């Protein structure tokens, strides 16, 4: 596995999936980059280098595997706050499931408020050792608003009344983890100082390291009560995900509970067909799947679940809970 670090030159814009037209929709909002955005930048570079087999021309997925991505700050890699960490007065408290008539339930305590936590806090959470998080330890992504003016495509002049607001993200780092089947991705990326990301072609400087992050090498031991924290969007229905998990771990699940929010819409532009991709819906990052196995199972540090795994979707970090 190699780790690629992108350092954006300036603010970033990854537009949400809904249509935007200056004047009729006054705000162009940015979302946190999807894994396929990073995969697309790498596929474009490989295509430019003539490595069509590695790109997967005409295929939805490439030959290489983007294990997942994370964003970062000066504190290092950060991850979406798990959905079972609930805001109280001065702290964010971890709320684990209880039982009701043989079913796992989540007690209704407080409200979820989105944010990010450092890798060290997340690792403590995955070990089942985290009870609460101080409010000042929850990280927010800085947004910057700027004014845009629509230009006529034909005349290249300003169109009257077509002003709009653009909401950019100030992201310091984007990390990507790649499994390379022999495409020479490390050497190719190392020869470039920067790449462009997304349809807006925002510049980001590139660094490559072949050291696997510690979060992928954790030892959790065996347990009947495990959790799987989705750090990237996971495409698929929860029932399908549970069945896949049983098959991959060769273990029967007695009960499960997904703590999540509304699905994330995933779209994009098909460079081969030159048309928009169909919209898919995914379990959002930060979601947590609590499971009870019939027998003790060795919990993996991470596992890929759902569809389009090679595009970085479905990265689930293993953990335990009591």
Domain boundaries, the chain: 2-74+140-214, 83-138+218-320
Residue 198 has pLDDT above 80, yes or no: no
Using pLDDT thresholds of 50, 70 and 90, give the confidence band for residue 122.
Answer: very high
Using pLDDT thresholds of 50, 70 and 90, give the confidence band for residue 21.
Answer: low
Determine contact, residues 17/265, Cβ cutoff 8 Å: yes
CATH topology of domain 2-74+140-214: Alpha-Beta Plaits (3.30.70)
The CA distance from 234 to 230, in Å, is 7
**DSSP secondary structure string for all residues of 170-215:** E-SEEEEEEE-SSS-HHHHHHT-SEEEETTTTEEEEEEEE-PPPGG
Residue 24 has pLDDT above 90, yes or no: no
Average pLDDT over residues 186-203: 81
Query: Residue 76: how many CB atoms within 10 A of its CB?
Result: 13
Residue 199 has pLDDT above 70, yes or no: no
Average pLDDT over residues 267-281: 71
Task: State whether the Cα torsion 240-241-242-243 is positive or negative.
Answer: positive
Q: Give the model confidence (pLDDT) of 90-104 as tens digits.
A: 788 898 888 765 676
Beta bridge partners of 168: 144
User: Shortest CA distance to 214 belongs to which of 90, 150, 141, 124?
Assistant: 124
Q: For 135, phi and psi rounded to 5 degrees?
A: -60, -35
| Contact residues for 230 (Cβ-Cβ < 8 A; gap 6+) | 283, 284, 285, 286, 287, 288, 289, 314, 315, 316
Asked which of 11-20, 138-147, 244-253, 261-270 is least confident by mean pLDDT, the reply is: 11-20
The SS3 assignment for 119 reads helix
The CA distance from 183 to 46, in Å, is 9
Average pLDDT over residues 45-54: 86
Average pLDDT over residues 201-211: 86
**DSSP secondary structure string for all residues of 23-67:** TTS-EEEB-PPPHHHHHHHHHHHHHHTT-HHHHTTTSSS-SSEEE
The token duo for 178 is 């790649």
Q: Is 2.60.40.10 the CATH classification of the domain at 83-138+218-320?
A: no
Average pLDDT over residues 173-194: 90
pLDDT value at position 91? 85
pLDDT value at position 146? 66
């Amino acid at each position: 596995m190699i780790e690629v670090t992108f350092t954006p030159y300036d603010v970033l814009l990854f537009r949400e999936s809904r249509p935007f037209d200056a004047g009729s929709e006054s705000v162009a909002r940015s979302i946190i980059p999807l894994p396929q955005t990073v995969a697309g930048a790498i596929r474009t570079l490989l295509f430019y280098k003539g490595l069509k087999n590695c790109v997967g021309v005409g295929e939805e997925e490439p030959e290489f595997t983007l294990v997942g991505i994370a964003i970062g700050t000066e504190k290092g890699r950060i991850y979406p706050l798990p959905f079972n960490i609930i805001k109280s007065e001065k702290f964010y408290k971890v709320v684990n499931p209880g039982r009701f008539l043989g079913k796992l339930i989540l007690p209704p305590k407080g409200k979820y408020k989105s944010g990010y936590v450092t890798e060290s806090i997340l690792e403590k959470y995955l070990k089942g050792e985290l009870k609460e998080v101080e409010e000042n330890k929850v990280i927010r992504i800085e947004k910057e608003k700027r004014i845009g003016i629509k230009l006529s495509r034909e005349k290249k002049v300003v169109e009257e009344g077509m002003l709009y607001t653009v909401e950019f993200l100030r992201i310091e780092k984007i990390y990507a983890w790649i499994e390379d089947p022999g495409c020479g991705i490390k050497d190719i990326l190392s020869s470039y100082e920067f790449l462009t990301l997304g349809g807006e072609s925002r510049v980001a400087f590139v660094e490559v390291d072949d050291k696997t992050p510690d979060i992928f090498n954790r030892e959790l031991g065996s347990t009947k009560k495990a959790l799987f924290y989705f750090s990237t969007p996971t495409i698929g229905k929860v029932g399908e995900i549970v069945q896949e998990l049983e098959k991959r771990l060769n273990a029967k699940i007695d009960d499960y509970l997904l703590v999540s929010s509304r699905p994330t819409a995933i779209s994009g532009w098909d460079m081969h067909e030159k048309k928009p991709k169909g919209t898919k819906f995914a379990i959002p990052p930060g979601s947590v799947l609590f499971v009870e196995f019939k027998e003790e199972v060795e919990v993996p540090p991470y596992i890929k679940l759902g569809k389009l795994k090679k595009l970085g979707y479905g990265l689930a970090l293993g953990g335990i809970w009591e």
